[in-house]
Amino acid sequence: MNRVIFGLLVSFLALTVSGCCTDPVNGESYLCFGEPSDQEEAQIGASYAPSFIAESGGLYPDRALHDYLNHIVIDKMARHTQRPNLPWEFHILNTSQINAFALPGGQVFVTRGLLARLDSEAQFAHLMGHELGHVTHKHSVRGQTRATLFGLLVGAVGVAESSIGDPDSPQYVTTAVSGLGQLTLLKFSRDQELQSDCRGVDYAVAAGYDPREGKKTFEMFLALKQQAGQGESLIDGLLSTHPLDSTRIEQIDAYIAETQPELPQGLVVNEPHFQDLMTDVRGAQAVYDDHDRAM
């Protein structure tokens, strides 16, 4: 039975994959179901953005903060990416959750909770460069292909097993494939996360920021995990959508040493206006923390 199912799967998947797409950053080819245009990709991201904003309590109501950070992300950094003509948009979500992410086509998000824990403008720049990297590498487009393939695979296995109808052979293949999907459908692979960390370095330097500040974000994540009693373990490295924090710190250091053995002079670490804005965010965050504890 297994040989029959395997043959059916190979034939089925060969028919469903329509071709190869190309990574705009490194030229790498990957399987896809037709490469969306920049406009189509932007429409996908724009269609999902309102729901993400609504689910996160709306946008953070500080126009001065938004304008300053928007200038960094859109005007200073996005133009240095391999996809400068995307309709990039930057949003600050009004939530205490610690997060940053990007949707296909150039929708970039960071939360109030994460901003309140950043130490420098250069750290913010690397963080946003990482998110820009997910978009420039089309990681979400690849994820859609993986999700579609997974759905087709499970469907094909189910049809094959039902057609064979062997009452003495339980549906081990469907069960195994479904279990594999828990890993296959993770938002980004560990390699993609490390890849985006490197783009964070590239885009930060191109915009005039010191990329060495980037590793502070992962040091902060590790400290928060340890404070919560959730330090690194082997299972984190297997199942998490992110690499272990120590791995990412080592990767950033190694990539900087390899590609920037002599960093340009005058790279920005912090600016007084950024520090003033972050002081305001931390003050607001303290109020939100008190409110959250009272709930």
Secondary structure (H, E, C), 125-152: HHHHHHHHHHHHCCHHHHHHHHHHHHHH
Residue 290 lies in a domain: yes
Residue 120 lies in a domain: yes
Q: Say yes or no to pLDDT of 173 above 50.
A: no
Closest CA to 193 of 117, 253, 252, 148: 252
Q: Using CA of residue 250, residue 256, residue 261, residue 263, what is the dihedral sign?
A: negative
Residue 236 lies in a domain: no
Residue 46 lies in a domain: yes
In one letter, which amino acid is 178?
S
* Phi, psi angles (nearest 5°) of residue 100: -150, 145
Residue 212 lies in a domain: no
Q: What is the mean pLDDT of residues 14-27?
A: 69
Q: How confident is the model at residue 224 (pLDDT cuts 50, 70, 90)?
A: confident
Residue 265 lies in a domain: no
More confident residue, 189 or 183: 189
Q: Say yes or no to pLDDT of 150 above 50.
A: yes
More confident residue, 148 or 34: 34
**Which residue intervals of the chain are DSSP H helices?**
2-16, 38-55, 63-70, 112-115, 121-136, 139-164, 172-184, 190-206, 215-227, 234-239, 245-259, 272-294
Could you list the residue range(s) of the whole structural domain that residue 30 is in?
A: 2-185+270-294
Q: Which DSSP symbol is given to 36?
A: P
Q: Highest-confidence range of 2-16, 28-42, 271-285, by mean pLDDT? A: 271-285
Q: Say yes or no to pLDDT of 163 above 60.
A: no
Residue 160 lies in a domain: yes
pTM (predicted TM-score): 0.79
Residue 132 lies in a domain: yes
pLDDT at position 9, please? 45
Residues paired with residue 29 on neighbouring β-strands, in sequence order: 22
Q: Say yes or no to pLDDT of 228 above 60.
A: yes
Q: Say yes or no to pLDDT of 159 above 60.
A: no
Q: What is the mean pLDDT of residues 194-213?
A: 97
Mean predicted lDDT score pLDDT of the chain: 81
Q: What is the mean pLDDT of residues 111-128?
A: 97
Number of domains in the chain: 1
Q: What is the mean pLDDT of residues 182-207?
A: 81
